[in-house]
Amino acid sequence: MNFLNTTDLDDLTLDRVLLAAEQLRSEPQQDWLAGKSVALIFLNPSMRTRTSMEVGVFQLGGHAVVLQPGKDAWGIEFEPSTVMHGEAEEHIAEVAAVLSRYVDVIGVRAFPKFVDWSVDRQDKVIKAFAQYSTVPVISLETITHPLQELALALTLRSQLGDPRGKQFLLTWTYHPKPLNTAVANSAITIASRLGMDVTLLCPNEDFLLDSRYLDIATTQCSQHGRSFEISHDIATAYSGKDFVYAKSWGALPWYGNWAKQQPQHHEYKHFIVDEEKMSKTNNARFSHCLPLRRNIKATDAVMDAPYCVAAEEAENRLHAQKAVLGMVTGALS
């Protein structure tokens, strides 16, 4: 089985994975991947994901091979039926078929190309890996970041106890570049899945996420009898929240058109998470997926506060990923 999105897992499976991750905190060494290998394909940079995957695979008895196509490995073509006269030296059909002969799991990081959202939202790269591979494929972040969702879920459970009925805020923040919406899409997906009241705070309608993810959040909140709300007012959005999650992303209407977007972006630097905003919450915890630019997305005071649990969430990546590796290889029964 693959692990491309948490929405592919039924509630029982999701809960089983989270429980396994929680157990791995105290029992990190397992033999689930003894003698097995995992390919980690990074089409974009990574620190946390690569380190935690390499370490996690090792702690499970296996070995991870890190590949960076286009840098140390050949560039890959993902379109079917193409005459390959461009830069790519091989097709995903061969890459996936061959890797499936060498390794037991394939992890893939493939960020959007930031030219045309109608193309990027199809998530073609990871889907092509899943289509052509005969071994399980795990997403290491594409247009969603499902492993981060699991880490966030573990953090919510450890910090809030039962998250159901608790108040979750996802706030947009400024960043000098237009970033991926993946973690934002993922944050509202998992918070709503866990039965929280979810608020999405962003400067204006241009910064709304793709309707696919707004619909998921709305539906899941509704199934739990909770609410999904959109807000453009900072003070009311922070008010009474139990958990504040921050992320910056580029506005979809200007996707691939950063020159035009940039001036508007700069008007919203005041969305930075600071102590004054946090003081409006219900003694909320604060987290972020990292990497985070200090004093741009959140102040030093917030990052260094006891309520900042970003490092714990990062640690939970390790436990969550090992549980997922156990799940997709069948070791986790």
Q: Which is nearer to a second copy, 156 or 318 (CB)?
A: 318
Stretch that binds a second copy, among 59-67, 182-190, 211-219, 253-261 (CB under 8 A): 59-67
Stretch that binds a second copy, among 96-104, 195-203, 216-224, 228-236 (CB under 8 A): 96-104
299 half-sphere exposure, CB direction, 13 A CA radius: 12
> Which of 7, 22, 55, 254 touches a second copy by CB under 8 A?
55
> Which of 19, 67, 208, 214 touches a second copy by CB under 8 A?
67
Strands (E), 22-155: 37-42, 63-67, 76-77, 90-91, 105-109, 137-139
H helix runs in 146-269, sequence order: 146-160, 182-193, 211-223, 234-238, 258-266
Count of CB atoms within 10 A of residue 53's CB?
28
Stretch that binds a second copy, among 69-77, 142-150, 190-198, 239-247 (CB under 8 A): 69-77
Q: Return the structure tokens found at 134.
A: 């005969």
Stretch that binds a second copy, among 11-19, 111-119, 184-192, 289-297 (CB under 8 A): 289-297
> Which of 50, 157, 224, 280 touches a second copy by CB under 8 A?
50
H/E stretch holding 243 reads strand 243-247
Q: What does the buried/exposed string (b/e) look like for 251-265 if buried means 16 or more CB atoms within 10 Å of the residue's CB?
A: bbebbeeeeebeeeb
> Which of 24, 43, 91, 192 touches a second copy by CB under 8 A?
91
Closest distance between a second copy and the C-beta of residue 233, in Å? 25
Establish if 267 lies at the interface with a second copy (CB under 8 A). Answer: no
Q: In this structure, is the dihedral angle defined by the CA atoms of residues 79, 81, 86 and 91, taken in order, positive or negative?
A: positive
Establish if 28 lies at the interface with a second copy (CB under 8 A). Answer: yes
Q: What are phi and psi of 84, to 5 degrees?
A: -85, 70
Stretch that binds a second copy, among 63-71, 140-148, 205-213, 233-241 (CB under 8 A): 63-71
Q: Which is nearer to a second copy, 39 or 284 (CB)?
A: 39
Helix, strand and coil percent figures for the chain, each rounded to 5: 45, 15, 40
Q: Which is nearer to a second copy, 226 or 285 (CB)?
A: 285
Q: What are phi and psi of 223, to 5 degrees?
A: -60, -30
Give the distance, in angstroms, between the CA of residue 161 and the centroid of all CA atoms in the same chain.
Answer: 22
Q: Tell me how many residues contact a second copy (CB under 8 A).
A: 63
Using alpha carbons only, how large is the chain's radius of gyration in Å?
20
Closest distance between a second copy and the C-beta of residue 204, in Å? 23
The site for a second copy (CB under 8 A) is made up of 28-29, 35, 37, 39, 42, 45-48, 50-52, 54-55, 58-59, 63, 65, 67-69, 71-74, 77, 80-85, 88-91, 93-95, 97-99, 101-103, 176, 290-296, 300, 303-304, 310-312, 314-315, 318
